[in-house]
């Protein structure tokens, strides 16, 4: 979109009087005042406030090209990129947006403004994803990550942008564990309350799918404790939240009650055998966790009952749990007993907390009995 060059005051007056809605016209008086007085910080803040207003959309590109670029080297480069990204969203299509963003990234690719360069590069990657250029998106994200690793500190908005787009890349590639990690890192950089309800539900839905299908994810603790998951309550996807808690508790009965919903999600339906193994492993760790440390020798028959696997699968399930680091211990194949010395910690629901409370009470009673016995022995020996 080429613009006829004209003096800044004349351009601002034209935008104010002929284009801007009445409630935004006062901004242009501020723009001209700050520009004439060279108050670059105040001018930047005024522009950011203007660009945040939805009604400014038709003017963002003209103001960026004819006004902002004229003093771009004099303002904070990260904020300059923020203005550019806002303007780029008004491009007529993704190809135009890509060209726009690439120009911004090139402009701030300087040693003193690497944070701004990363911010712009990540947005280039986002648009390449939208265009289906997975290789180009990965290259841009790798470039951004390489620069991020050199920073001692950086604005959270830069990290949030990187993790968000990196997560979107892995989601498109169906790399569930990588998506899960990056999506949670993104949420750690933002205030969830600032996200729209639609975005919260979309993130929660994708995270739940990734948690269930991630081949290296056997502990959902961080997600189960995250408020983002509550956005699924009282929605058509609330069953997915319930399914996560069922998996975490190794609750086979609750899972079977929810399994009818799996057909609603082709990815889950297509990985039913993997989900079954994952649930059985969770049931195994839960069976170990419920027992006190001195009573963690489980017979194969007990494991069979707790996990509902076939008899010939018990040993394989134990070996799988050991190899994944979910438990530690040994297997006595002759006696058909698994002796577990450690089980991976997990987030507890109310029922599990109640079970732990009962175990602590039993332990307290045992300690009291031992104390009374020692005291009686001391008295008897006196």
- Average pLDDT over the chain reads 93
Percent helix, strand, coil in the chain, to 5, is 75, 5, 20
Mean pLDDT of 49-61: 97
Is residue 228 within 8 Å of residue 187, measured between CB atoms? yes
Predicted model pTM: 0.88
What would the pLDDT profile of 131-147 be if each residue is shown by its tens digit?
999 999 999 999 999 99
Percent of the chain with pLDDT over 70: 96
pLDDT at 2: 43
List all residues 6 or more positions away from 381 whose beta carbon is below 8 Å from its beta carbon.
none
> 């009291």: which residue's tokens?
368
- CB atoms under 10 Å from CB of 304, counted, come to 17
How far is the C-alpha of 237 from the C-alpha of 324, rounded, in Å? 30
Rounded-to-10 torsion of CA 308, 314, 317, 323: 150
How many CA atoms does the CB half-sphere of 21 hold within 13 Å?
Answer: 8
Check whether 381 has a pLDDT greater than 70.
no
Mean pLDDT of 58-84: 97
Is residue 127 within 8 Å of residue 98, measured between CB atoms? yes
What would the pLDDT profile of 177-226 be if each residue is shown by its tens digit?
999 999 999 999 999 999 999 999 999 999 999 999 999 999 888 999 99
């Amino acid at each position: 979109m080429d613009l006829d060059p004209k003096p800044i005051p004349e351009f601002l007056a034209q935008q104010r009087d002929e284009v801007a809605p009445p409630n935004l016209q006062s901004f242009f008086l501020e723009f001209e005042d700050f520009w004439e007085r060279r108050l670059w910080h105040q001018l930047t803040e005024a522009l950011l406030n203007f660009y945040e207003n939805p009604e400014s959309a038709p003017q963002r590109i003209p103001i960026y090209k004819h006004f902002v670029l004229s003093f771009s080297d004099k303002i904070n480069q990260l904020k300059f990129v923020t203005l550019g990204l806002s303007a780029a969203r008004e491009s007529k299509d993704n190809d135009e947006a890509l060209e726009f963003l690439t120009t911004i990234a090139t402009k701030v690719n300087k040693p003193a403004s690497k944070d701004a360069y990363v911010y712009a590069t990540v947005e280039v990657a986002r648009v390449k994803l939208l265009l289906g250029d997975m290789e180009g998106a990965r290259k841009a994200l790798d470039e951004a990550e390489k620069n991020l690793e050199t920073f001692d500190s950086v604005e959270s908005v830069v990290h949030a942008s990187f993790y968000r787009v990196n997560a979107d890349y892995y989601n498109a590639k169906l790399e569930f564990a990588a998506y899960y990690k990056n999506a949670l890192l993104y949420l750690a950089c933002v205030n969830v309350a600032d996200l729209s309800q639609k975005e919260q539900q979309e993130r929660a839905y994708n995270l739940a799918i990734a948690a269930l299908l991630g081949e290296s994810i056997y502990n959902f603790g961080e997600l189960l404790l995250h408020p983002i998951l509550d956005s699924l309550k009282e929605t058509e996807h609330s069953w997915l939240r319930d399914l996560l808690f069922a998996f975490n508790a190794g609750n086979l009965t609750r899972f079977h009650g929810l399994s009818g919903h799996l057909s609603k999600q082709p990815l889950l339906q297509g990985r039913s055998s993997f989900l079954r193994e994952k649930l059985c492993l969770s049931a195994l760790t839960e069976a170990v966790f419920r027992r006190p440390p001195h009573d963690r020798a489980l017979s194969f028959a007990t494991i069979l009952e707790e996990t509902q696997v076939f008899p010939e699968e018990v040993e394989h399930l134990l070996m799988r749990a050991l190899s994944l680091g979910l438990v530690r211990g040994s297997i006595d194949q002759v006696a058909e007993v698994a002796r577990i010395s450690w089980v991976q910690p997990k987030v507890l629901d109310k029922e599990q907390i109640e079970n732990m409370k009962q175990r602590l009470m039993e332990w307290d009673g045992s300690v009291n009995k031992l104390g009374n016995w020692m005291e009686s022995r001391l008295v008897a020996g006196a």
